[in-house]
A and B are shown apart, each in its own frame.
Chain A
């Protein structure tokens, strides 16, 4: 059974600040997905990272997949209140259709 940890569990910051959240595991993944979930809604896919060391940018969000494909990070530059939500990582292993989620990082960006 893989152990999947997301940190921090909670993060409250002011608008304009930068932040990084992490997703770590004891297992190697074939790929990894990041989702954002807003209150009262289902998760929405942000990105899929596939190659060890890969970096993907989505506007102010930067996603990195670790070289060993056991960890990932999400960096947000100049956070805005609209970034508020629960950020979930979901690594994919042999069964690519069977998503297992971390418990998430709950981000609050205060105006």
Chain B
């Protein structure tokens, strides 16, 4: 049982380059989300999805795009990387629950934009 798999684990980009951070889960979870974690700022929600074909913005969506064509995959796209996007990115997934089912997180992608 792989859980939530994120690739790559590390990435260095030049300003203006584009890339896609991959996230896949094998637990048939409806809900998936992307967070970024910066020192002193905690985990901030970028985008989330409540099911295939449905996405919405979180707290810090600017500069990022997402799509959810399947239940399993939720890629995060950086269209034109900026140094401010240097961060650690986490993908998470969860099953719906009235009391808040436990979220499973990937191990993160550490992105540096130079």
Contacts and interface: CB of A to CB of B under 8 A. Distances in A.
A42 B108 contact: yes
Contacts of A48: 99-100, 102
Given A98-B45, A102-B42, 4 more contacts: A41-B107, A96-B99, A97-B48, A101-B35
Contacts, number: 65
Interface in B75-114: 90, 92, 94, 96-100, 102-108
Given A88-B43, A97-B31, A98-B48, A42 B106 contact: yes
Nearest to B29: A97
Interface of B: 4, 30-31, 33, 35, 40-43, 45, 48, 50, 58-59, 90, 92, 94, 96-100, 102-108
A28 interface: no
23 contacts: A30-B99, A31-B99, A31-B100, A33-B100, A33-B103, A41-B108, A43-B90, A43-B105, A48-B102, A88-B42, A92-B99, A92-B100, A96-B96, A96-B97, A97-B48, A97-B50, A97-B96, A98-B45, A98-B48, A99-B33, A99-B45, A100-B45, A101-B42
A45 interface: yes
B4 to A, nearest CB: 8
B7 to A, nearest CB: 14
B40 A103 contact: yes
A103 B41 contact: yes
Given A101-B42, A103-B40, A96 B98 contact: yes
Contacts of A41: 107-108
B107 A96 contact: no
